Amino acid sequence: MQNSTSDKVFSFFNYFFLAIIALLILYPLYFVVSASFSNPTYILTGEMWLWPKGFNLDAYKKVFENEDIVNGFINTLKYTTFGTLINVIMTIMAAYPLSRKDFYGRNVIMAIFVFTMFFGGGLIPTYLLIRDLGMIDTFWVMVIPNAVAVWNIIIMRTFFQTTIPLELQESAQIDGCGNIRILINIVLPLSMPVIAVMVLFYAVGHWNSYFHALIYLSDKDNFPLQLVLREILIKGEMDEMIKATSESFLKQQLSVEGLKYAVLIVSNLPMMILYPFLQKYFVKGFMIGSIKG
């Protein structure tokens, strides 16, 4: 079917405005990357606006020479990796039985889960509980209290209900499979899209998290990267990073300008790498949750 003139005009303006919006979104990201590899002098004077100018890696060297940033980066990788693994396992363990029509009391349990989305114990009672459990200033305080999200349980439960045929599971039961074997050998291999969505949701949440660390951690050796960067910005610890106590104020400003962009790249690069591989599932995850289960 041939498009009419009005359709062609609409498509032209549609693509034109979308291209402008894409440039407005992408240019700041591109500028940060270029600035991190440029001489800070050209950044401050406005001479660098597209391509790196005065290419150098000094900012990245200074970033990785800072032990707090390196340690925070490693801690965040650990929290994100193990936290996401725990999150996905717990979500599957909750969502699969709730998706089974033969599971007695599933509606009552689901109602209790949903109740916790709207009502919580509050920050102080939660802190007292975590303190009494002996998790303050430990690795586990960053992964156990947020081990599962009810909204993600709903998304995964809905996927199981609407995508995995009940007849397939009944056939496996007739062949002698138990519930665990059905889950591992049949349901999970068919659920890779929603599992990828869960990995993305949880991983981004762990990587960007700093509030829990701010409340429950006091030992700098356990700080995640986001909290380390917060400490640097608030307490003005850039001077220690650039080791510029004897330099002029201008040189200090130049060093800080370069470090600022390098730190942004280092802190966001892992998620920027992960997202393109999982982004095709991102919209699908929201569509799954919009289907009534």
Spans of all domains in the chain: 58-289
Distance CA 174, CA 177 (A): 7
- The SS3 assignment for 57 reads coil
Tell me, what's the pLDDT at 95? 92
Q: Which among 209, 216, 221 is positioned nearest to 71, based on CA atoms?
A: 221
Distance CA 258, CA 39 (A): 7
- Residue 164: pLDDT band by 50, 70, 90 thresholds? confident
Q: Is it the case that residue 268 has pLDDT exceeding 60?
A: yes
- Residue 244: pLDDT band by 50, 70, 90 thresholds? very low
CATH of domain 58-289: 1.10.3720.10
Tell me, what's the pLDDT at 253? 62
**Side chain identity at residue 37, one-letter code:** F
Long-range contacts of 209-217 (CB under 8 A, 24+ apart): 209/79, 209/142, 209/146, 212/141, 212/142, 212/145, 212/146, 213/142, 215/123, 215/127, 216/127, 216/130, 216/135, 216/136, 216/137, 216/141, 216/142, 217/137, 217/141, 217/142
Count of helix runs (H) and strand runs (E) in the chain: 14, 0
Q: Which residue has the tokens 């996905």?
A: 88
Q: What's the mean per-residue pLDDT of the chain?
A: 81
pLDDT tens sequence across 67-115 = 888 888 899 999 999 999 999 999 999 999 998 888 888 889 999 999 9
Torsional sign, CA 5, 8, 12, 18 = positive
Q: For the ranges 7-21, 53-67, 225-239, which has the lowest average pLDDT? A: 225-239
Secondary-structure breakdown of the chain: helix, strand, coil percentages, each rounded to the nearest 5: 75, 0, 25
Q: Is it the case that residue 274 has pLDDT exceeding 90?
A: no
Q: Which residue has the tokens 């300008």?
A: 257
Distance CA 77, CA 139 (A): 12
Average pLDDT (220-230) is 85
